[in-house]
Amino acid sequence: MHDRPAPSREQMQIMAEAAFAGLPAEFRSQLSDVVLEVEDFATPEQLESVDLDDRWQLSGLYQGEPLPDRSIWESGRMPPRIWLFREPLIAEWRATGVGMEDLVRHVVVHEAGHHFGFSDEDMHRLEDQAE
């Protein structure tokens, strides 16, 4: 469906950083400690954390303590991360014809929503209302 070659991990990282930079300033300021990572596939542990066993089914993941659950008394934690999984995104890109930048932006926004404590159901409801 696409004539162009699939983006490399580095190219997808640049797309993810651009999507992140495009978020409204009031959200970006609260995401300053979030690290963006691009890997080809989720690890078995990452898949298990969201009750999946097929590595092709997970295109993004938020790992960290959502803002509403944080305590000022806790410290020394790893920074929260938003993971994008390149191969599942490429498969979706090829299957749907949706632009890769749009897919990456969708995953970044969705996973950033988890940082703010939104559930998948909350985000689907918000997306439906926006359409």
Q: Which pLDDT tens digit goes with each residue over 9-33?
A: 999 999 999 999 988 888 888 888 8
- Distance of alpha carbon 67 from alpha carbon 41, whole angstroms: 26
Is 4 contained in some domain?
no
Is 85 contained in some domain?
yes
Q: Give the contacts of 6 (CB within 8 A, at least 6 positions apart).
A: 86, 90, 93, 94
Which whole number is the average pLDDT over 49-55? Answer: 96
Sign of CA dihedral 61, 42, 105, 31: positive
Is 59 contained in some domain?
yes
Q: What is the pLDDT of residue 32?
A: 86
Q: What is the pLDDT of residue 1?
A: 57
Is 1 contained in some domain?
no
Is 3 contained in some domain?
no
Q: What is the tally of structural domains in the chain? A: 1
Which whole number is the average pLDDT over 96-117? Answer: 91
